[in-house]
Chains A and B, each alone.
Chain A
């Protein structure tokens, strides 16, 4: 089955700096890669996603890049704000089924 690794497990940045979270996946058939933000005690919220036929996607301060050959994808947050503090999960969806496998999570702390 799919295995998704995520690094780092914790990340502290100063407000206004950039944050980068990296994930690798094992199943070359995976074709959809969402990123979720989960605040304490709340549901995971989809913040951005990318499909396997796209190399990069941007939405305001958030961008995701995908390298299919190397089987890794990354989340980039620019101009971080305290409200960006949360746990971020990457995930990969297998190509033939509806199974989504999550990475282990990154706790991001933005220091004002």
Chain B
């Protein structure tokens, strides 16, 4: 299995809602990433987990809360989002060892905040 899956594909939420995005991979990768991508822009790194521990937080607002419950799963919990948070949220995974850098992206969740 060489695929990263993400659910849901689309999500519409109000500013007072709480929702979660889910990412899963079964490639044995121990590094997982969340990116945010606005239209016509490159992906921007949000968080990196390495061996289920948060290793990078790119100063992301606390209304985004990541979680890595096990080596195959990555969640992004959303609360009190703003309309400007509407974007494509991409998950990616890679091996965590030195020299194994290739990242594999999931199809993304398109989030709309109303």
Distance A44 CA – B45 CA, assembled complex (angstroms): 14
**Complex Cα–Cα for A42 and B42 (A):** 13
Distance A42 CA – B90 CA, assembled complex (angstroms): 10
With contacts A44-B43, A44-B90, A105-B41 taken as known, whether A98 is within 8 angstroms of B56 at the C-beta atoms is yes
B45 contacts A100, C-beta separation under 8 Å: yes
- Residues in A whose Cβ lies below 8 Å from that of B86: none
Within the assembled complex, what's the spacing in Å between the Cα atoms of A93 and B48? 13
26 examples of A-B residue contacts, CB within 8 angstroms = A32-B101, A34-B103, A42-B107, A43-B90, A43-B106, A43-B108, A44-B43, A44-B90, A44-B105, A46-B102, A89-B42, A89-B43, A93-B101, A97-B48, A97-B55, A97-B56, A98-B33, A98-B48, A98-B96, A99-B56, A99-B58, A101-B45, A102-B42, A102-B44, A104-B42, A105-B42
- On whether A49 and B102 interact (CB within 8 A), knowing A44-B43, A104-B42, the answer reads yes
Does A45 lie at the interface of the complex (its beta carbon under 8 Å from any beta carbon of B)? yes
Q: Report B's interface with A, CB cutoff 8 A.
A: 31, 33, 40-45, 48, 50, 55-56, 58, 90, 94, 96, 101-108
Question: Once the chains bind, are B43 and A98 in contact (CB under 8 Å)?
Answer: no
In the bound complex, residues from chain B placing their C-beta under 8 Å from that of A42 are: 107
* Cβ–Cβ contact A98 & B107, under 8 A: no
Quick check: B48 and A99 within 8 Å, CB to CB?
yes
Q: A45-B105, A49-B101, A105-B42 are in contact. List 6 more A-B contacts (CB 8 A).
A: A44-B43, A99-B56, A99-B58, A102-B44, A104-B41, A104-B42
